C-alpha cells in the first residue's frame, strides 16, 4: 500500500530463515544479485505511488480499518476508506475510459501530479498524511482527505488536471506573516521618522528665513 517496491538486504541475511521465509511468503523476486555485499528484491504486487479510486467509504475505527486494508486481496483502486464525516465523502463516479496519473515533480516540500480522468475520482498519493501539507488542483485550494489510514487523497474532477501537494506548516506561514508584519512596521516607523525630519527641517528653514528678513529690515 505504501508503494514500497524494493527491499535491499545484506547478502548474509539471505541465510537467515526468517528473512528467507518472508521473501518467499511475500512473493518477492530477486532483482539484482551482482553486488558482493547486497541483494535487491522486488515486490511485484506493490502499488504505484499515485493511483485513482472511484469508490470510497467512510473509514471505520482504526482497529477495524487496519484489518480491512491488511487483507491480501485489498485493492484501494477498487475501494478506499476515507476518514471524514458521512456528509463530507467526496462525490465520485465510475470510470468510463482510460485514466492516468503520474508524478512530474517530486521534491522534498512539493509533489506535483498530472492527472487524466474519465470521471470524477479520488487521487491517492501513497505519502504520509501529515499536518502542514496543502493541496491545489489547477491552482485552486483542495482538501486533503486522510485515506486508507495513512495516505493523502484529493478529489479531482474529470479531465486533465494538475494536482500539487506543498508542505507549508503553520509555523512557516506564521513566520512569514510576522516577517511581513515586521517589514510593514519598520517601513511605517521609517516613514514617520522621515516626516518628522521633514517637518523639523521646514520649521528650521522658516525660522532662518524670518531671522534673515528681520536682519535686513
Q: What is the pTM of this model?
A: 0.73
Share of the chain above pLDDT 70, in %: 79
Q: Are 51 and 101 in contact (CB under 8 A)?
A: yes
Confidence of residue 49 (pLDDT cuts 50, 70, 90): very high
**What is d(CA 56, CA 91) in angstroms, rounded to the nearest whole number?**
9
pLDDT-derived band of residue 34, with 50, 70 and 90 as boundaries?
A: confident
Contact yes or no for 124/80 (Cβ under 8 A) = yes
166: Cα separation from own chain's centroid: 5
**Span 115-156, pLDDT tens digits:** 999 999 999 999 999 999 999 999 999 999 999 999 999 999
**Higher confidence at residue 140 or residue 45?**
140
Give the pLDDT score at 196.
74
pLDDT at 110: 97
What cell numbers appear for 58 in the block?
467512510
Cα distance between residue 135 and residue 180, in whole Å = 24
Tell me the per-residue pLDDT of 82-114, one tens digit each, with 9 for 90 and over: 999 988 999 999 999 999 999 999 999 999 999
Q: According to the model, what pLDDT value does residue 45 have?
A: 87
Q: pLDDT tens for residues 167-212?
A: 999 655 445 454 665 666 666 656 676 677 667 666 666 656 666 5
Quote the pLDDT of residue 100.
96
Q: Residue 17: is its pLDDT beyond 70?
A: yes
Which residue in this structure is represented by grid cell 468510463? Answer: 96
- The answer to whether residues 134 and 152 touch, using CB atoms and an 8 Å cutoff, is no
Residues 6+ apart with CB under 8 A from 32: 39, 40
Amino acid at each position: 500500500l505504501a508503494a514500497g517496491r524494493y527491499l535491499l538486504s545484506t547478502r548474509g541475511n539471505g541465510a537467515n530463515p526468517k528473512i528467507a521465509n518472508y521473501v518467499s511468503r511475500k512473493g518477492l523476486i530477486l532483482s539484482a544479485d551482482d553486488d558482493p555485499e547486497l541483494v535487491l528484491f522486488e515486490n511485484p504486487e506493490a502499488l504505484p505511488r499515485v493511483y485513482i479510486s472511484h469508490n470510497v467509504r467512510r473509514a471505520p475505527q482504526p482497529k477495524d480499518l487496519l484489518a480491512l486494508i491488511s487483507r491480501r486481496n485489498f485493492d484501494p483502486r477498487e475501494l478506499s476508506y476515507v476518514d471524514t464525516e458521512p456528509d463530507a465523502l467526496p462525490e465520485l463516479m465510475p470510470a468510463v475510459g482510460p485514466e492516468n496519473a503520474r508524478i512530474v515533480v517530486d521534491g522534498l516540500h512539493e509533489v506535483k501530479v498530472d492527472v487524466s480522468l474519465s470521471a470524477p475520482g479520488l487521487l491517492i498519493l501513497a505519502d504520509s498524511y501529515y499536518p502542514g501539507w496543502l493541496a491545489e488542483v489547477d491552482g485552486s485550494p483542495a482538501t486533503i482527505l486522510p485515506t486508507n489510514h495513512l495516505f493523502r487523497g484529493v478529489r479531482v474532477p474529470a479531465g486533465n488536471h494538475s494536482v500539487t501537494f506543498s508542505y507549508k506548516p503553520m509555523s512557516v506561514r506564521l513566520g512569514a506573516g510576522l516577517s511581513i508584519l515586521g517589514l510593514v512596521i519598520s517601513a511605517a516607523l521609517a516613514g514617520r521618522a522621515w516626516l518628522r525630519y521633514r517637518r523639523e527641517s521646514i520649521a528650521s528653514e522658516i525660522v532662518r528665513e524670518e531671522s534673515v528678513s528681520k536682519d535686513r529690515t
